[in-house]
Structure 1
């Protein structure tokens, strides 16, 4: 692994290349923060995929792509005098020091939960009116629910035991079942949302990331279904012409792979 001096040299190289591209490349010269936004979101999702796949070589590449975007935004910011890369770095450094008084101050903590509580309290002291202000509006609903629950728990709004949360899941399932029998689509959607929210909350108590858990199931389903497709092609029998019993044979085979 490279030492600190080599890491700083590599970062300086990236900054120089970014300057050159911004000044000489027709595509890079044309970009704005708005035009880069959707590309940045895509890069972060690609990084997330690599992390879930445990492909460290791909993680390295995707981190580079994300870092490029950070440098790109900073270069654009410097062109109007709004901020530059140094401002970005100092901003996060200052925040980290301020938010970790147990490291850079005289505050004492016993565990991770104490750190999280202090973090949320410090943000309120900084002028935020709500602990939920920091939850991005555009987050996917499942990720947003997880962040909401995590943040409110940081100020003590939480269940005490996992069993209580599971009882809430059962309660919400019963309410959903009741609305299904009534047939009110709007009420069904509302109760279905409550079930999902309570399940995501339960996942937090189980120390399970719900987004990762669902994506793991997505990947598992894709793998099994593609195995089923391959068997269908080998038999020269389209899936639409196969019975569910025939499909189930190959589905069970896929489970053992």
Structure 2
């Protein structure tokens, strides 16, 4: 298929979606009832489902989940058009304008010869566009804490506020580890100051996320992979225990460790 034919096919597909959305909004009781607020939690759910599909590297499922998210974008725009706020064309043109303005090294005379320069230009332009008083003003308040830490660090780096060498970041990790240990020494019977220990633990996590960034590890992905690995091994333990006629809640830790070690070798 030629480039022109492919583009025409894509435009036809999008036109078909818009037509179906119009019909559903007019004829389907459920679709008629939806509002911007009622769709919000469903959109969040769809986003997490897309995330699962990406982690599973399931391309067919990724295609389906992208379709669901595209439906939501069209749905929000349809609802907004009914109150004369905006419509899907406005959404798309606004996005195109933003992409052009934030890529002056492509559409203007700014130079950016590497990825880091592109990111720094992007953050500076965003800061100017939104009128934020802080570089960190664009970080959503409701982001999960681990992802928020990543975005905070990335935005600070975007304006040049960052460590120079990964060895410096690792020194900070070790420093925070010692400070946490001082507040929560596992070998001591001294009562732990929960508030201080929580603060030091947060500092330790923040420094580890920082180091992960320096060695090109996405900490969210890394933790999720470990979560999935634990789930897989624990479910093997449950299944193996059941097959052997044992109830997992009545087994000793040593008995469970036998199956756990088997799971690690699967």
> Of the candidates 247, 250, 254, which is equivalent to residue 259 of structure 2?
250
Deviations along 1:13-61, whole A, 9 cap, x unmatched? 1111111111111111111101100100000000000000000000000
Structure 1 stretches of at least 4 aligned residues deviating more than 6 Å after TM superposition: none
In structure 2, what is the Cα distance between the partners aligned to 1:250 and 1:132? 47
Task: Name the structure 2 match of 1:219.
Answer: 228
Q: CA deviation at 1:218?
A: 0.5
Q: What TM-score do you get using the length of structure 1 for normalisation?
A: 0.97
Distance in 2 between residues matched to 1:213 and 1:96, nearest whole Å: 30
Aligned-partner Cα distance in 1 for 2:76–2:149: 28
> Does structure 1 retain, via aligned residues, the 8 Å contact 2:236–2:259?
yes
Gaps of 5+ in 1: none
Answering whether residue 45 of structure 2 is matched by residue 42 of structure 1, we say yes
* Structure 2 unmatched ranges of 5 or more: 186-190
Superposed displacement of residue 133, structure 1: 1.5
Aligned mates of 1:252, 1:237 — CA distance in 2: 17
1:207 aligns with 2:216: yes
Match of 1:165 among 166, 169, 175: 169
**Equivalence map 1:1-257=2 (5 Å):** 3-126=6-129, 127-181=131-185, 183-257=192-266
**For the residues of structure 2 that align with 1:66 and 1:176, how far apart are their CA atoms?**
42
Q: What is the distance in 2 between the residues matched to 1:18 and 1:170?
A: 55
Q: How many residues align?
A: 257
Alpha-carbon separation, structure 2, partners of 1:246 and 1:124: 57
Q: Distance in 2 between matches of 1:230 and 1:20?
A: 48
Query: Deviation per CA, 1:169-199, whole angstroms, max 9, x where unpaired?
Result: 1111111111114610011111111111111
Of 121-130 and 85-94, deviating more is 121-130
Deviations 1:217-240 (A, max 9, x none): 010000000000001100111112
Deviates more, 1:173-182 or 1:79-88: 173-182
